Amino acid sequence: MKFGTKAIHAGIEPDPSTGAIMTPIYQTSTYVQQSPGDHKGYEYSRTHNPTRTALQSSLAELENGKHGICFSSGLGAIDAVLKLFNPGDEIISSNDLYGGTYRLFTKIYERFGIKFKFVPMGDPASIAEHITEKTKMIWVETPTNPMMNIIDIAAVAKLGKGRKILVAVDNTFASPYLQNPLDLGADLVMHSVTKYLGGHSDVVMGALVVNEDELAKKLVFIQNASGATPGPQDCFLVLRGIKTLHLRMERHSQNGKTIAAYLKNHPKVEKVYWPGFEDHPNHAIAKTQMRDFGGMISFTLVGNQQSDAVKVMENFRLFALAESLGGVESLCGHPASMTHASIPQEEREKVGLVDSLIRLSVGVEDAEDLKNDLANALSKI
């Protein structure tokens, strides 16, 4: 099936008891057994729930994987991955990544003896310099949050395969519509399902998708044993959101292109970070591994004053000032004080995350209205 067809049909079957075309919300904590151990595949809803099963199957198919595993948040999904490792293990990560991931790595798991190396990944060859016999995973974000850097997934995957190093990709910014890391050789894909997959800013969830059976078995064990599982209502909402994922991503990408071009030509904008520009570093890689360039954009202001950034964001009417991204409505954020505040300032500035940087999640509204909103807000500085 083509992607648009998969978005609507993947993992979905009519309810066998009624023929209902929509997956029911199985709002139950437990299931009646005929005899001890004699049940219909479901014992307890932390372990399995039919609504969650349908969603996990759908996500696996969207990422061209075999196993989908859902969690109560994106960080819950990343936490499960980290539980695969032991004290003394080393993990290499991009030096430009979501602040919550950085916080989980450094504030939680470093205390348990896992070592993290944060390195530039624009040139995958440079990653090899940091690999040792203790390296167990390479953690990739592409496009990165918030600098929109592009990392060559296939090249990183080759580094891992020869050394039996797990290559994991946070695919949240791209969504399965724009990019499929498993097809490029990655071992594991992570999504903050909260974002584009849910698409309507009404659910918090995370997911992992893998192909390898033994890896899936370990992660499913962690999912059940640690208990960070989503409820059936949330699973239903995501199943509903996925049905329009291809339509939404097309519009996000169209609007993203329009807004990025507008900002690039604005006299009060210093720099625009969007992988669709031909002069963007690794644009050629983005063209190869992505179907389009999406609706995530970051930009800085002339003079680099945080007060100017604040004034712009306070004067938006359509771009709502809020954390998160990927919903149908446009959002703006200030990474330095919001999503990436947990990263020390000196580390943020090394990758270009300066105080005037504004991150946009361009929604599916009319692009002319969004441009007018930007024009009005930028006129206030």
Give 191's DSSP letter: E
Question: Which of 46, 66, 115, 218 is an active site residue?
Answer: 46
Question: Which of 6, 52, 195, 257 is an active site residue?
Answer: 195
Looking at residue 345, its pLDDT comes to 85
To the query of whether residue 248 is one of the catalytic residues in this protein, the response is: no
Question: Which of 98, 102, 196, 273 is an active site residue?
Answer: 98
Q: What is the pTM of this model?
A: 0.96
Whole-angstrom CA distances from 97 to 23, 102, 255 are 35, 7, 24
Sign of CA dihedral 234, 239, 244, 250: positive
Checking if the pLDDT of 349 tops 90, the result is: no
* Per-residue tokens: 302: 């002339």
Checking if the pLDDT of 342 tops 90, the result is: no
Please answer whether residues 182 and 65 qualify as being in contact, where contact means their C-beta atoms are separated by less than 8 angstroms: yes
Q: How confident is the model at residue 5 (pLDDT cuts 50, 70, 90)?
A: very high
State the CB neighbour count (10 A cutoff) for residue 324: 16
Using DSSP's 3-state secondary structure scheme, residue 341 falls into coil
pLDDT in tens, 110-152: 999 999 999 999 999 889 999 999 999 999 999 999 999 999 9
Instruction: Find all residues with CB under 8 Å of 12, minimum gap 6, and list them.
Output: 23, 54, 58, 239
Question: Which of 79, 170, 308, 373 is an active site residue?
Answer: 170
At position 372, the amino acid (one-letter code) is N
Q: How confident is the model at residue 352 (pLDDT cuts 50, 70, 90)?
A: confident
To the query of whether residue 271 is one of the catalytic residues in this protein, the response is: no
To the query of whether residue 262 is one of the catalytic residues in this protein, the response is: no
pLDDT in tens, 214-260: 999 999 999 999 999 999 999 999 999 999 999 999 999 999 999 99
To the query of whether residue 311 is one of the catalytic residues in this protein, the response is: no
Classify residue 143 by burial, with Cβ atoms within 10 Å: 0-12, 13-18, 19+.
buried
Lowest-pLDDT choice from 25-34, 82-91, 331-340: 331-340
Looking at residue 346, its pLDDT comes to 85
